[in-house]
Structure 1
């Protein structure tokens, strides 16, 4: 029999180290928010109403972000609509219909999740964009950006769904078997509804990741500031705009880019709060 002895001094050191790490994380996040607020506040007071125009022309002191906000949202929403259902179906199929393939597939998925976003962007630029260009020029478009983002968020969405299904109590499966439900019936009526809040919470976080992606979208979206009216229209997202223009921006132009960063931070915070709320509802139901 093994007995583990713990030193009170070591416990105190570990406790303080954890508190220090937590405090540093809060300070870093608070510092980011503070810098964005300090940089953006004067501009928002002077030009706040103009941010919702469609024209982004810094040389003429026009800083309308509406088209780029729309571009960010439609690209991310389409990516989530493509990756989310596919991730849920694949996770359920691997766990309940093809358990032999589950481990090797999840290992491959974990490898995909670790691929840098610029690699996905390079693949999209060299393979996907020319392929779309054959059907609807110029190829770099809303559709190309959403497809690349869907491929990027699919691995983590699948892993989140698999984890949510794995955490379900065994009694749910036993109840379905006692009712003589088929595996499809158990999934549709018992398992997926019970795991639903955790799955949706994970998908909300993946939507936030898609919304904040920069390099891959910049390489395949076309980067034209316009309202997207077709899947094949080039679009520009807020993150791509910051990456493209921050290097040479000065004056109000530079501050406008900080304001767009603050807007992205607020949207991400709202998505995080929504994810926490969904998880809280899941625990309340349990």
Structure 2
């Protein structure tokens, strides 16, 4: 086959792959939007009451998603706050303190956590974390299931992602920056804090956002430890709650196709998809600003 013809075949195949991916993405968005928007434009559920309503009781026709939204964001933000210091400290250790040991031993070890199924994290949380909550907080923790338990389990689950991306971010900082800092008389920790971390800040923020995206969409492990209470707003971190994903998985099995409850659950899916797209946009904005800054 002539070289020119082979090149055209390659361009055609790659173009077809891109078109297929684009078609799948557009189809998913259209399908979820069509089902989700039916709740507001056909079934007559008000968008304002859906977003701000404080009771999710589909059997009574009450579709207030605010408790689920609060549960999702509470677990996501708290798990990120718990995982970030550990991930950042581990990344500094691997890149700046013990690079040989960190690369050969520690990083492969932390990456093994990615391969553990979600149900295993859920079982550990159910038997260990919930029991620890009862032991520490007593009767205030009830059964131990709650937002704090879910956040602890999620923090362990997103730790490998945030740690690996943080290691890559710090390793990408040019050595010339470190050498220049040492030449000015700065210590190792002054260099790490004021040069390396500041230079890697856009990439570190991307790592945090990706970790939050993973936490926001997690279902099974959270469902096992958070309590699954969807009807009312949680009053504190120890209270049982529910998230958008747990409400979806528990509700779809019992919802009748074409019913208001069925469409309302699709609306939760639409809300989840919108938040995921928002996270992606934030990542791209951070990446562009980081590129301009480094440029």
Per the normalisation by structure 1, the TM-score is 0.94
Q: How does 1:114-153 map onto structure 2 within 5 Å?
A: 114-135=115-136, 136-153=141-158
Q: Which moved more, 1:59-68 or 1:228-237?
A: 228-237
CA offsets, 1:154-208, max 9 Å, x none?
1110100110111111211111111121111001111100100011012112101
Q: Does 1:22 align with 2:22?
A: no
Q: Which moved more, 1:69-78 or 1:29-38?
A: 29-38
Q: How does 1:247-266 map onto structure 2 within 5 Å?
A: 247-250=253-256, 251-266=259-274
Distance in 1, matches of 2:5 and 2:111, equals 39
Unaligned runs of 5+ in 1: 1-5
Task: Check the 8 A contact 1:50/1:62 in 2, yes or no.
Answer: no
Partner of 1:3: none
1:100 shift after superposition: 3.4
Partner of 2:48: 49
1:8 shift after superposition: 4.0
Q: How many residues align?
A: 281
Q: Does 1:199 align with 2:198?
A: no
1:267 shift after superposition: 0.8
Partner of 1:275: 283
SS in 2 for 1:232: coil
1:7 shift after superposition: 4.2
2:160 to 155, 164, 168: 155
Distance in 1, matches of 2:287 and 2:187, equals 28
Q: How does 1:83-94 map onto structure 2 within 5 Å?
A: 83-94=83-94
Q: Does 1:62 align with 2:58?
A: no
Q: Which moved more, 1:225-234 or 1:76-85?
A: 225-234
RMSD across aligned positions (CA): 1.4
Distance in 2, matches of 1:259 and 1:167, equals 41
Per the normalisation by structure 2, the TM-score is 0.91
Distance in 2, matches of 1:94 and 1:227, equals 42
SS in 2 for 1:248: coil
Distance in 1, matches of 2:59 and 2:186, equals 65
Unaligned runs of 5+ in 2: none
1:133 shift after superposition: 2.3
Partner of 2:35: 39
Task: Check the 8 A contact 2:36/2:269 in 1, yes or no.
Answer: no
Distance in 2, matches of 1:173 and 1:14, equals 43
Distance in 1, matches of 2:9 and 2:178, equals 44
